[in-house]
């Protein structure tokens, strides 16, 4: 998409679009774009908190079994195996997927090998992109600022809920879209319009209350993880931009994306 500037010189507008669930991801559409993966409850929230508290890197895995085997293979390093299956910590794991578990005392200087039901598979699906960024409400402003300066189209991948869309991921995607549109990005498709509409239509409701409304929030409440919802609602409490590196795949803080502060 483009508009015409003076003397009919075409000026390209960066676009933002949203995949409401991972199954919608088009690998070819990612090749010249920056992917942004969101799993508000809870993987990307937990990753942002863990990195802010000094974890050296996070290795995303596609399954609980893969993470278990990789953790054993990396036994000579400072490694913690963490994550969840159906919301609960698997047997033998060091940590679950609750952001409050990932304190500086627990994770500083450690590599986290992580497997979650929705979040880590969505991150791995983003690998055809030029760059992958990890977003949560904790680092919303930092991510928007980095994307505005990134010079590429943006494709937001919602981790969703077991193959379908999720309320809270669509909500965060909408706030990312709003920040980018305000900075001059063009809407790239209906996914972005849907997410933006949700974000704009719920501005009068508190964020923690909103995160309780969806199926994911309701499940966490039933499982006794209400504190995780409140933690996920700590808007702009962390200023860092985690990115996915390759060979091997790991999530680290982008040194150009701002330092961590809590």
Instruction: Give me the DSSP letters along 199-239.
Output: HHHTTTS-HHHHHTTSHHHHHHHHHT-HHHHHHHT-TT---
Q: Which of 206, 199, 150, 205 is nearest to 176 (CA)?
A: 199
Q: Which of 150, 148, 161, 181 is nearest to 118 (CA)?
A: 161
The answer to the question of residue 103 being in a domain is yes
The pLDDT confidence band at residue 251, using thresholds 50, 70 and 90, is very high
pLDDT, position 10: 52
Cβ–Cβ under 8 Å, residues 46 and 183: no
> 60 or 8: which carries more pLDDT confidence?
60
pLDDT, position 1: 34
Residue 76 reports pLDDT greater than 70: yes
**What mean pLDDT comes out for the span 222-243?**
98
Q: Which helix (H) or strand (E) holds 61?
A: strand 57-61
The answer to the question of residue 101 being in a domain is yes
The pLDDT confidence band at residue 257, using thresholds 50, 70 and 90, is low
Percentage of residues of the chain with pLDDT beyond 70:
93
> 83 or 247: which carries more pLDDT confidence?
83
The helix-helix angle for 167-182 and 190-201 (nearest 10°) equals: 100
**What mean pLDDT comes out for the span 200-223?**
97
CA distance 186 to 213: 29
pLDDT, position 151: 94
Q: Could you tell me the residue range of the domain that residue 208 belongs to?
A: 11-253
Helix, strand, coil in percent for the chain, rounding step 5: 40, 20, 40
Query: How does pLDDT run across 13-40, given as a tens digit for each residue?
Result: 899 999 999 999 999 999 999 999 999 9
Percentage of residues of the chain with pLDDT beyond 90:
89
**What mean pLDDT comes out for the span 92-118?**
97
The answer to the question of residue 46 being in a domain is yes
Q: Which of 154, 236, 168 is nearest to 202 (CA)?
A: 168
**Average pLDDT along the chain:** 93
Residue 185 reports pLDDT greater than 60: yes
Question: What six digits make up the tokens of 129?
Answer: 């992109």
Residue 3 reports pLDDT greater than 70: no
For the whole model, what pTM was predicted? 0.93
Cβ atoms within 10 Å of 224's Cβ, excluding its own: 9
Contacts of residues 83-89 at CB distance under 8 Å and 24 or more positions apart, as own/partner, are 83/43, 83/114, 83/115, 83/116, 83/120, 84/42, 84/116, 84/117, 85/115, 85/117, 86/117, 87/117, 87/219, 87/220, 87/223, 87/225, 88/223
The answer to the question of residue 201 being in a domain is yes
pLDDT, position 75: 77
The answer to the question of residue 86 being in a domain is yes
CA distance 240 to 254: 7
Q: Which of 6, 13, 5 is nearest to 151 (CA)?
A: 13
The answer to the question of residue 6 being in a domain is no
CATH classification of the domain holding 36: 3.90.1560.10
* Structural domains in the chain (count): 1
The answer to the question of residue 3 being in a domain is no
Residue 230 reports pLDDT greater than 60: yes
The answer to the question of residue 112 being in a domain is yes
Question: What six digits make up the tokens of 116?
Answer: 């979650």
**What is the DSSP code (8-state) at residue 40?**
T
């Amino acid at each position: 998409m483009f508009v015409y500037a003076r003397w009919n010189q075409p000026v390209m507008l960066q676009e933002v679009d949203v995949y409401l669930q991972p199954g919608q991801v088009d690998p070819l559409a990612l090749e010249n774009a920056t992917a942004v993966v969101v799993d508000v409850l809870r993987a990307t929230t937990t990753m942002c908190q863990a990195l802010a508290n000094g974890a050296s890197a996070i290795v995303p895995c596609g399954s609980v079994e893969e993470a278990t085997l990789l953790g054993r293979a990396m036994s000579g390093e400072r490694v913690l195996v963490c994550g969840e299956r159906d919301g609960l910590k698997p047997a033998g794991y060091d940590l679950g997927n609750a952001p409050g578990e990932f304190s500086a005392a627990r994770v500083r200087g450690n590599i986290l090998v992580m497997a979650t039901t929705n979040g880590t598979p969505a991150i791995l699906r983003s690998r055809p992109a030029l760059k992958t960024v990890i977003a949560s409400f904790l680092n919303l402003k930092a991510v928007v600022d980095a994307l505005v300066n990134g010079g590429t189209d943006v494709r937001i991948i919602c981790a969703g809920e077991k193959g379908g869309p999720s309320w809270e991921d669509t909500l965060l995607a909408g706030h990312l879209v709003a920040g980018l549109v305000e900075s001059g990005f063009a809407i790239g498709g209906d996914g972005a319009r849907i997410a933006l509409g949700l974000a704009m239509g719920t501005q009068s409701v508190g964020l923690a209350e909103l995160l309780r409304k969806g199926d994911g929030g309701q499940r966490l409440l039933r499982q006794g993880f209400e504190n995780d919802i409140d933690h996920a609602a700590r808007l702009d409490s962390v200023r860092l931009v985690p990115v996915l590196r390759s060979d091997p795949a790991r999530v680290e803080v982008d040194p150009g994306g701002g330092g961590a502060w809590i």
